[in-house]
């Protein structure tokens, strides 16, 4: 059975890039345009992994991750921060919020697949 990945990203081009890439490699994808929608979708669908953008409207990815990690139903799902936010301390902020890993934008396709496979195998 194919693993399901939730893409929480407000930029349609990034969502399409990730969706096309992941589906090409046999993953099923779910999508959310902001953190609030991502939390709702994760709670309803229980994906195998979540790719979480950090800078989004309505609710940012750090707050969404804190909510997911505080909920017994979703806390086990690995959350990988997706961000072009590459300032000093940003990686630490994502880890403090509960993200399990960090993927820098622009997205390196091979690197993303390697990171996802690592967390799905854990």
Radius of gyration of the chain (CA): 13
Domain 4-121 fold: Rossmann fold (3.40.50)
CA pseudo-torsion sign 13, 47, 43, 105: negative
Scanning 46-108, the segments in alpha helix (DSSP H) are 61-70, 90-97
Confidence of residue 97 (pLDDT cuts 50, 70, 90): confident
Say whether pTM exceeds 0.85. Answer: yes
Residue 122: band (very low, low, confident or very high) from pLDDT cuts 50, 70, 90? confident
For the chain, the average pLDDT equals 91
Pure H helices in 2-108? 12-24, 35-45, 61-70, 90-97
């Amino acid at each position: 059975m194919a693993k399901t990945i939730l893409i929480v990203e407000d930029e349609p081009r990034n969502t399409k890039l990730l969706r096309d890439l992941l589906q090409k490699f046999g993953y099923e994808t779910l999508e959310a345009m902001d953190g609030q929608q991502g939390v709702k979708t994760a709670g309803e669908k229980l994906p195998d992994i979540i790719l979480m953008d950090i800078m989004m409207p309505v609710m940012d990815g750090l707050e969404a991750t804190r909510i997911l990690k505080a909920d017994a139903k979703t806390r086990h799902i690995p959350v990988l921060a997706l961000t072009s936010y590459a300032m000093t301390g940003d990686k630490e902020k994502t880890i403090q919020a509960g993200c399990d890993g960090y993927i820098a934008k622009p997205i390196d396709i091979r690197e993303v697949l390697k990171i996802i496979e690592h967390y799905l195998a854990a």
